[in-house]
Structure 1
Amino acid sequence: MRILAAGLSALVLTLGFSSASRADELLKECMVTSSEKMCQCIIARIPADQRSNAILGLRKSNQSVSVSGNLLNPSNLSPQEMQGLNAVVAAQAYCM
């Protein structure tokens, strides 16, 4: 029983750090094009289970703009990247 409890505690800590790490990554990607205040608002509006996809979508968008100077073509996105960008756009609209 103690081993199970210790295992569950380790899992909870790992998930907690993982969630914090995703928030840090999301903040980093968001701040490429937005202020910290706006990004904090956006992050607060994106559910934890959508943050990985939001990171993927923002990263792809940031790469597109930095490489070509053009906005991202949505047809070049994977379903996960599209879901992530949709979550970011919805949160951004709320935060404006």
Structure 2
Amino acid sequence: MSEVIDRVNPRAVLSALMGFKERGSSVLSYILMKQEGKPVPPSEIQKALNISPSNLSHSGRNLEKLGLIKRSPDGYTPNIGAVINVLLSVVMDLVKRVEDLEKVIEEK
């Protein structure tokens, strides 16, 4: 699992997620919420999000390429380590930006 986390580029993931239509983000969100130690079946995701099998397959393929989920015949499983890695990267970037802004404000 650490190999997958090491391969995930948080900036690339964020950039790709920003470019996703709402569907891709919704699929990831649903998988994260519903996953309880076992894959989430595609039929469940399709029904819950009211999307076609081809749309789910496309979104799933993109999320898998980003390293955020794993697809199997049983369904979709989130790569929690990769998701946390991306979130931590975003938080650290935001903290740095806030610190930089605070310095600018103090200088004035």
TM-score normalized by structure 2? Answer: 0.36
Structure with more helix by fraction: 1
Structure with more strand by fraction: 2
Larger-Rg structure: 2
TM-score normalized by structure 1? Answer: 0.39
